[in-house]
Chains A and B, each alone.
Chain A
Amino acid sequence: MPHKVIDVQNVVIRFTGDSGDGMQLTGSLFADTAAFFGNDITTFPDFPAEIRAPQGTIAGVSGFQVHIGSSAIYTPGDYCDVLVAMNPAALKSNVKWLKPNATIIVDIDTFDKKGLEKAGFTTEDAFAELNISDRNIIAPPITTLTKESSTLCGIDPKSGVRCKNMFALGICYFLYNMPLDHTEKFIRKKFAKDPALIDINLRILKDGVNYASNIQAIADTYIVKPSKQKPGIYRNINGNKAIAWGLMAASEKSGRPLFCGSYPITPATGILEELAIHKELGVKTLQCEDEIAGICTAIGASYAGSLAVTSTSGPGLSLKSEALGLAVMAELPLVVIDVQRAGPSTGIPTKTEQTDLNQALYGRSGECPVAIIAPHSPSHCFEASFYAAKYALEHLMPVIILSEGFLGNGSEPWRIPDINDYPSINPPLIQELEEGEPHFYPFKRDPETMVRRWALPGTPNLEHRVGGLEKNHKGAVSSDPLVHQQMVNERAEKVARLARLIPPQSVIGEQEGDILMVSWGGTYGHMLNAQSQLHSDGIKVGLAHFDYINPLPLNTEEIFGRFKKIIVFELNSGHFANYLRSKMPQFTYLQYNKIQGQPFIVTEIIEAINKIVK
């Protein structure tokens, strides 16, 4: 009987299994296939910190959620339509993410006594125990079938069984009528040196497709039609890569070579790794002995004339804070990227959070303001890092990019921009003394922007000293009380005046009225979905989502004045809300906060607003 093919607007698939089961790869392949097919997508890897936690346990479960749609997709989805669970632990820990009518795909071979025990089941029927016996469950003996196919291909079943993720992927491709060609191409490229592995992987993938087409459990299949996207060349991009590329674009635009001093730390390492690949474009990377050396080598490179950056996560930012103060004091351009993770201390390294905002705003000794930009989606990381670099270079100051694990590892299709459409970057470089200037005065400022001039070592006649000690405009060390006051004021003013250059804050939805939802950073997609759903429910709310944290856009106060209630949503205990209170105390700020190492789900945002409306 031919299957009926049903059109659906969007679908959420969650691939879960042991951390060694290849779920990140499986999910990425599905996402890429959907993107190539023309769907809009957003992905969300959700994995443990351990590389190989004890097999079969809840602690070792790794997940990758992908949301595909025939219209714009802004979040990886709250709940899933399909859950792939390669073992009982994966099923148990992800059952909470199932939609009521979700399809569940399991490898039933793993639901033996040992597997069930490891996952903490107390009976032999895991589905009954989880109260999901009535769901649409597809339960092939994937391990057995994979081993059989391996033997037929002349491959040791023990090695062959490592491809069992391909079987599950095949079922999903069948369910959603997706082409296999992208995955086939990937497999041929990845195993080019070992044709036997190409054979077995392709065979298992097709086994999965065939199995799905033969069983009665699948009555209908679905199709998510390509979304109407703006014409252009597209690619998938994650936030870490986008940050790296934005910096490279800024380097090209400014003519300043890119230097990255860094130290590996989850979830920011991808930035250093990506930059390390691109030596062909002149990028220099230095994997340092520690986080402090990461920022200090960057400060050195900045002094020598590079676009200098350092990448890290929360604990690394703590280690860098003294040196960040030096960059503020020496007035050197520097981009510091913090891909936030759940803290404090080591916290939950692979989980996302927005809990470093206070640290970014206030975590330094002395009067030490730093500009802060927060990207709002994986592809927006490109814009954010481009402008962070532009402002750092043109204003000779550090800029912090507050990214999040959710953005760094998450991916979405990105319409590739033309670099010629981006603005030029003009650092205040100086080649010779100005007329009538007897010596180079390193801290003489442009009265409009408060920016000093940048003389690079190697430039004749501009020899000067910079450093951590307070200095006067001439560059001489000074402990004069009034000089200190003046320099503190000027450094703060330089950051504040950046507000004149950044774009005005926009409001999505209602432009005035009862409720304004306020948010920043990686929660954008969820906030946007919530706003649009509330709008369809007839609840009038505006959404002000901030990319620029310090300084705030100049029209912020005016926007807040147009609404009766302001509610600030963030994945911390209220850092942004408190910051807004300190800047604009005339308004009352309600808060919705979550600190679980997980992104918002759209429904909780809607519920929070509904409570206020009632």
Chain B
Amino acid sequence: MKFTPQDFKSDQEVKWCPGCGDHAVLAAVQRALPEISEALGYSKERYVFVSGIGCSSRFPYYMKTYGFHSIHGRAAAIATGIKVANPTLSVWEMTGDGDSLAIGGNHLIHAIRRNIDINIVLFNNRIYGLTKGQYSPTSKWGTITKTSPFGTVEHPFNPGALAMGARGTFFARTLDMELQLTQEIMVEAAKHDGTALVEVLQNCVIFNDRTHSIISDRDVRADRTIVLQHGKPMIFGKNKDKGLILDGMRLKAVTIGENGITTDDLLVHNAEEQNHGIHIMLCEMEWPELPVALGIIRRVKDRTYDDMVRDQVTELANKSNIRCMNDMLRSGDTWVVE
């Protein structure tokens, strides 16, 4: 059966602020699901959207799928339980930078470490929106908010680098307004066996407007971001004339044709490289020194937690003579009273 985006739209009124980046992500996901369903043969009832607390966590209500809007920070744990209990489900965690990197940081890194086969979409607007404008774990150093009137004095997390540190097997980054790229990434995330973390650089139009605009504004986007493609040279720029090379231990942006640089000198993206060293460097690129990396930065194969749990259960059930509780209760040290 073929689906259309309309099949995944619930009858609930979408209550995000007009102009919020979340609308675009919702649209991209609703467009991606028919494609995923076709590629993987998923029926509609197999999707479960799980969220924590925050603006983005209202997401499940707008999807005509199974959904669980849970409590602050715990979506990764709830999604983990769902997936382990029923590995045939396609489990999606929709979360924000506060939800997943502050109160839920522990669950995020452990989900990634276990490589549980869920897809985590992290809406990063670098602010607490639902509580009306306090700094978040991704707010840049010095950010002035209601709770940091003199500027924050703490380093932000880089979600990609954090995921790599937790031995992540899939990390991708997109921009809320890049609908097509977001849609493609969602499809790839769904296809990946293991925890797929997708960071969406998303705009909060009310409390942190234009936080990403320095790289995302239409006229500068091509020069200040790079969309990485597996197996392709790292080229970016409006005129496709810029690229990335490795200069000693560091990445460096160069212009093709200057100083004798040709396309052959550029790094070729390998998302499937097991060693995550260069993937972390790509995650941490920041403009103006370097373009911000978008696309699939890392995608490597590894065993998934839910598969291994299921396999252990199957293997032991096949090996054991104990078939039911009555068998089990009568096994081991027992004695008979006549």
Contacts and interface: CB of A to CB of B under 8 A. Distances in A.
Interface of A: 32, 35-36, 38, 229-236, 245, 248-249, 252, 257, 259, 261, 278-284, 286, 288-290, 292-293, 296-306, 308, 322-323, 325-326, 330, 415-420, 456-469, 476-477
A38 B107 contact: no
A455 B198 CA distance: 29
Interface string B305-338: 0000100110011011010111011101111111
24 contacts: A35-B335, A234-B337, A235-B329, A248-B325, A279-B313, A281-B325, A281-B328, A288-B77, A289-B110, A292-B77, A293-B107, A300-B50, A300-B78, A300-B85, A301-B82, A304-B48, A304-B85, A308-B81, A325-B71, A416-B330, A456-B86, A457-B45, A463-B44, A468-B53
Centre residue among B44, B60, B319, B326 by max chain A CB count within 10 A: B326
A324 B132 CA distance: 27
Given A35-B335, A468-B69, A477 B61 contact: yes
A460 B43 contact: yes
B68 A465 contact: yes
Nearest to A310: B81
A286 B106 contact: no
Nearest to B64: A463
B124 to A, nearest CB: 22
A462 B45 contact: yes
A465 B71 contact: no
B275 interface: no
B65 interface: yes
Nearest to B324: A252
B334 A280 contact: no
Nearest to B66: A457
A469 B70 CA distance: 8
B267 interface: no
Centre residue among B12, B61, B86, B325 by max chain A CB count within 10 A: B325
Interface string B71-87: 10010011111111110
A298 B81 contact: yes
A197 to B, nearest CB: 21
A280 B322 contact: yes
Interface of B: 10, 12, 43-46, 48, 50, 53, 60-61, 64-71, 74, 77-86, 88-89, 106-107, 110, 309, 312-313, 316-317, 319-320, 322, 324-326, 328-330, 332-338
Given A330-B68, A419-B324, A279 B317 contact: yes
B329 A281 contact: no
Nearest to A420: B326
Contacts of B50: 300
A121 B324 CA distance: 56
A284 to B, nearest CB: 6
A284 B309 contact: yes
A284 B317 contact: no
Given A234-B337, A235-B333, A252-B325, A280 B77 contact: no
B88 A458 contact: yes
A292 B74 contact: yes
Contacts of B309: 284, 286
Contact of A304 (B89, B319, B322, B324): B89
A293 B337 contact: no
B80 A469 contact: no
A455 to B, nearest CB: 8
Contacts of A466: 67-69
A240 B175 CA distance: 51
A330 B81 CA distance: 15
Nearest to A226: B337
B317 A281 contact: yes
Contacts of B313: 279, 282-284
B338 A231 contact: yes
Given A280-B322, A417-B329, A463 B335 contact: no
Given A463-B64, A477-B12, 10 more contacts: A32-B333, A36-B335, A231-B336, A278-B328, A282-B317, A289-B110, A293-B107, A416-B329, A419-B326, A466-B68
Contacts of A417: 329
B107 A469 contact: no
A319 B80 CA distance: 19
A238 to B, nearest CB: 13
A293 B74 contact: yes
Centre residue among A296, A299, A306 by max chain B CB count within 10 A: A296
B278 to A, nearest CB: 29
A304 B82 contact: yes
B336 A326 contact: no
Contacts of A420: 326
B178 to A, nearest CB: 28
A458 to B, nearest CB: 6
A248 B316 CA distance: 16
A463 B66 contact: yes
B84 A284 contact: yes
Nearest to A232: B337
Contact of A281 (B64, B65, B322): B322
B39 to A, nearest CB: 19
Given A284-B84, A458-B46, A323 B74 contact: yes
Contacts of B326: 418-420
A35 B333 CA distance: 11
A289 B65 CA distance: 29
Centre residue among A303, A416, A457, A469 by max chain B CB count within 10 A: A457
B325 A299 contact: no
B160 to A, nearest CB: 21
B149 to A, nearest CB: 30
Nearest to A185: B333
B319 A297 contact: no
A303 B68 contact: yes
A524 B84 CA distance: 39
B61 A465 contact: yes
Contacts of A279: 312-313, 316-317
Contacts of A284: 84-85, 309, 313
A236 B333 contact: yes
Contacts of B71: 296, 322-323, 325-326, 468
B307 to A, nearest CB: 12
Nearest to B57: A467
Contacts of A229: 337
A33 B338 CA distance: 18
A300 B328 contact: no
A286 B317 CA distance: 18
A233 B316 CA distance: 26
A289 B81 contact: no
Nearest to A257: B85
Nearest to A414: B329
A36 B82 CA distance: 44
Contact of B74 (A259, A278, A296, A469): A296
A300 B89 CA distance: 12
Contacts of B83: 300
Contact of B45 (A292, A305, A461, A477): A461
A245 B64 CA distance: 39
A331 to B, nearest CB: 12
A522 B184 CA distance: 59
B203 to A, nearest CB: 25
A417 B77 CA distance: 36
Nearest to A186: B333
A154 to B, nearest CB: 31
A259 B338 CA distance: 37
Nearest to A466: B68
A420 B65 CA distance: 39
A462 B65 CA distance: 9
- 6 shortest interchain CB distances as A-B pairs: A300-B81, A467-B69, A296-B77, A297-B81, A280-B320, A301-B85
B81 A259 contact: yes
A106 B107 CA distance: 51
A297 B78 contact: yes
B66 A464 contact: yes
B328 A248 contact: yes
A412 to B, nearest CB: 14
A302 B81 CA distance: 8
